[in-house]
Structure 1
Amino acid sequence: MCVDNQYITFYRFGSPSDVLKVEERSITAPQRGEVLVRMTARPINPSDLIPIGGAYSHRISLPGIPGYEGVGIVEAVGEDVPQELIGKRVLPLRGEGTWQRFVKAPAAWAIAIPDTLGDDMAAQLYINPVTAWVICRQILGLKPGDVLIVNACGSSLGRIFAQLSRCFGVRLIAVTRNDRHTKELLRLGAMRVINENELDLLPTIMELTGGLGVNAAVDMVGGEPGTELACCVGGNGIFVTLGLLSGISLNWVEIKRRTNASATMFHLRHWNEAVSAQGWQDTFRELISLVQAGKLSLLPPRSRFELCQVDAAVREAEANEGKQGKCFLM
């Protein structure tokens, strides 16, 4: 078996719109334990674009093919893979980059998608939902009644934290930079939404919690806002940082001085390295069940582009400007 495969690649690090190229090559049949998947939808995430810029150049070999997420249809299987998978929709994860027409991936890590989930929803089930799920269930170990605070909560990931908080009986305090998403976050499950540009965060949180502080905090911003967020955590609580939207590091000295809460950094790739294939499948099974039950929803794409239109797609994805929904490569 040998088919033509259009794919996106980059030979040097730099601005995605400058360094990404559209190329074609032949792809061979899947090997033992692999599936060959014809991709139908791929969201563009910040985590797809950041490596192209060279942020993780020490662990990326060039040339590279971007793309961590996406959904497609199994076209062929290698030895030791059930033939019944052919024609089924899957998430071909933890294999090759998804920004290509055909992707080969290990069958043990491919996630089967039920007919009740459309491509738009299925394609986004990995990066943000798994991150929020693992943090809530495994890192923070949240219990009903716990108070969780999350900043940058108007983001796609913030929306998921709001919905999971409702599922788990957790009281979420959502921190935003404006009031644009307040009504939606309250509808999704937040107990309270705080506009950090209107209220001083720490005294507001202490008033809301009777001076105890929150049980847990998730920071996606870093810098002074993230440092302040960490100081809202009570003595036995946990602070998790997973992003630096501000581009500025946290003040760990200040955090240690002002709170006794334990602090940790979360990297999805580290969880990937540790989780078993069964644990991986179980996590997606839980998330899919929440989607099917109407308890978890993801935003529809805000725009769609053909794979060969990748330049326009990444420019649109980078021009966020408060827009909701991801750009998709089809």
Structure 2
Amino acid sequence: MRNRLIYCDTFGDPKEVLKIKEKEIAPPEAGEVLVRMLARPINPSDLIPVRGSYSHRIPLPYIPGYEGVGVVEDVGDNVGAELIGKRVLPLRGEGTWQDFVRVPAEFAVPVPESIHTNTAAQLYINPVTAWVTMTEVLQLRPGSVLLVNACGSAIGHLYAQFARVLNVRLIAVVRNGKHTQKLLNLGASEVVDTSSQSLFEVVMEKTNEKGADAAIDSLGGSAGSDLAGCLRSQGYFLSIGLLSGQQTNWGAFADKVQMNIFHLRHWNRKVSPAEWHNIFLQIIGFVEKKRIRIGLTKTEYDFETIHQALTAVSDGRRGKVLLTN
């Protein structure tokens, strides 16, 4: 069998450097499964390495894709044949932007039939990041006040839903009022539109001048500084992204709040396979019980139309773009 894959052999604009080629499928090695991919989303985190941000640790040629879902086609030695034909999340192996992916069997996450393929394809990056940062890193308790910016995004919507699950008071920060009602419906306690409201004034009013207990920043730069300035003394500031392309001035807050960075790949390295699967069991359980809903699919594209898919990602409309077979 032949395997189509999307790759780059130089870093740059994804629309310019991503190519498609075919090669023979390598059989799974001992402890691996071979997965025929069904769907994988195009996330910002998939495109950042293509642009060269991590060129110091990513060898070329590079196959993008951190998440997705597929069906086990074959297994290597020491892997039970009962996995063949099962849908799994083939994570922490090869890049998912190809027809077939080899992945360590211990990290392949089974997906119940009750979960739609397009939903299953999005169960990793955003849900795991949101759940782990709230429960393990920040260890939020019922009644904790959490600030999260860029809440109009897919992960922002998950933070709102998990806030309801955990009984956390989420103050969702947006730069456009169109997201307000949606976030309140999902579970946010307050929504601050910084285009028309003072974040600091709203947070102080809602916390009796104490400040928030924790903040999660996806933007960096001045937006990150604004979040940090709304924390109580020794509150916890956590950076999970740098969408603005600018660093927050951490030195200005070092003596006032606790500051840290969360990288999902670092968390991956330290958790055991059992802990890894337990996180997914929790998230899958929330989805099955409809306690959380994963972002809606905007459009599906086949491999051969990857450049049209990239255009759809950049057009600014809401919804997730999926690469399907």
TM-score bracket, shorter-length normalisation? over 0.9
Candidates 281, 286, 289, aligned match of 1:293: 289
What is the CA–CA distance in structure 2 between the aligned matches of 1:227 and 1:317, rounded to whole Å?
28
Provide the rounded CA distance (Å) in 2 between the counterparts of 1:236 and 1:163: 26
**1:170 alignment partner in structure 2:** 168
Aligned to 1:280: 276
8 Å CA contact 1:69, 1:123 repeated in 2: yes
2:44 matched residue in structure 1: 46
Q: Is 1:95 equivalent to 2:93 in the alignment?
A: yes
Task: Give the ranges of 4+ consecutive aligned residues of structure 1 lying more than 6 Å apart after TM superposition.
Answer: none
Report what 1:266 is aligned to: 262
After TM superposition, list the pairs within 5 Å mapping 1:1-330 onto structure 2. Answer: 3-256=1-254, 260-319=256-315, 321=316, 323-330=317-324
Q: Is the 8 A contact 1:217 1:230 kept in 2?
A: yes
Q: CA deviation at 1:253?
A: 2.0
When structure 1 is superposed on structure 2, of 309-318 and 262-271 the one drifting more is: 309-318
Give yes or no for contact 2:250–2:259 (8 Å, CA) kept in 1: no
Quick one: percent identity of the two aligned structures? 49
Aligned partner of 2:243: which letter? L
Task: State the Cα distance separating 1:203 from its structure 2 match.
Answer: 2.0
Cα distance in 2 for residues equivalent to 1:156 and 1:12: 29
Give me the whole-angstrom Cα distance separating, in 2, the residues matched to 1:264 and 1:73.
Answer: 38
1: CA distance, partners of 2:189 / 2:26: 52
Distance 2:218 2:253 in 1: 16
Letter of the structure 1 residue corresponding to residue 197 of structure 2:
L
Q: Which runs of 5+ in 2 are unaligned?
A: none
The alignment covers a number of residue pairs equal to 324
**What CA deviation, in whole Å up to 9, does each residue of 1:121-156 have, x standing for no partner?**
100000000000110011100000111010000100
Mapped contact 2:211–2:231 kept (Cα < 8 A): yes
Specify the code of the residue in structure 2 equivalent to 1:211. Answer: E
Please state whether the residue corresponding to 1:57 is helix, strand or coil.
Answer: coil
Length-normalised TM-score, structure 2: 0.98
AA in 1 matched with 2:272: S
Q: CA deviation at 1:318?
A: 2.3
> Could you give the per-residue CA deviations for residues 205-263 of structure 1, whole angstroms, max 9, x where no partner exists?
11110111011100111111110101111113211011111111101122236xx2211
TM-fit CA distance, 1:314: 1.3
The Cα of 1:199 is off from its aligned counterpart by 1.2
CA contact (8 A) 1:299 1:324 kept: no
Structure 1 counterpart of 2:266, one-letter code: H
